[in-house]
A and B are shown apart, each in its own frame.
Chain A
Amino acid sequence: SQQGEEDPQALSIQEGENATMNCSYKTSINNLQWYRQNSGRGLVHLILIRSNEREKHSGRLRVTLDTSKKSSSLLITASRAADTASYFCATDVSNFGNEKLTFGTGTRLTIIP
């Protein structure tokens, strides 16, 4: 069954504004990851936050994790047209050995120039 679920499904904002996407999941996790996908192409890893972390930054990206609420958010500040893409959260429930990533259906972000 689907582990991560992104909200909203689609988001359109003006260039320069901030974009916030949310992810909810159901079971305990080891880490949560955010990926980006340009139309019809492969996924690109953005950021990983471990279950014992609450917030992480990478450039214009800020990710939060609330394990008590089983939710995470991805904030993209000062958005650019090039940020237009689909964004997915993926939960990793592996204890050791291979990563076992379960993805949601994604948020389609459109940045309007």
Chain B
Amino acid sequence: ETGVTQTPRHLVMGMTNKKSLKCEQHLGHNAMYWYKQSAKKPLELMFVYSLEERVENNSVPSRFSPECPNSSHLFLHLHTLQPEDSALYLCASSHGQGGTEAFFGQGTRLTVV
């Protein structure tokens, strides 16, 4: 659809588990992003990667750990999450040159129990 694929689409994990979210794009984009969408809140930008280097981290707790091994793949490693971390996690990519649109994946619906 948009060219950005996220897996899994749904994830239920306990507070002591470790899991990873995956995002993949083959649009030739240089920048990739993680957003968190909670009910009745604006989308929160979590991390920005440009050419595989992290350029922004918006004060995200260390229980969220991003990884960008190459410009096409982005991961979000999760460990010892809290129930309030339950949300829709969205990955996006863009050309990264400013002034262009972002392409979003379908998101991973995360539930922490």
Do A42 and B99 form a contact, CB below 8 Å, given A98-B94, A102-B45?
Answer: no
Interface string of B100-113 (1 = CB under 8 A from A): 11111111010000
| Number of CB contacts from chain A to chain B under 8 A | 78
Closest partner residue, chain B, to A105 (CB atom): B42
Q: How far is the CB of A32 from chain B (nearest CB, A)?
A: 11
Interface window among A43-51, A62-70, A77-85: A43-51
Contacts of A87 in B (CB 8 A): none
Interface string of A81-107 (1 = CB under 8 A from B): 000000010101011111111111100
Q: Give A99 to B102 CA distance when docked, in angstroms.
A: 8
| Tally of chain B residues near chain A (CB < 8 A) | 30
Q: Does the CB pair A2–B42 fall under 8 Å?
A: yes
Q: Does the CB pair B90–A98 fall under 8 Å?
A: no
**23 A-B residue pairs with CB within 8 Å:** A31-B99, A33-B102, A40-B88, A40-B109, A42-B104, A42-B105, A43-B43, A43-B90, A44-B2, A48-B99, A48-B101, A96-B97, A97-B55, A97-B97, A98-B48, A98-B50, A98-B55, A98-B94, A100-B48, A101-B45, A101-B102, A102-B42, A102-B45
Q: Does the CB pair A42–B98 fall under 8 Å?
A: no
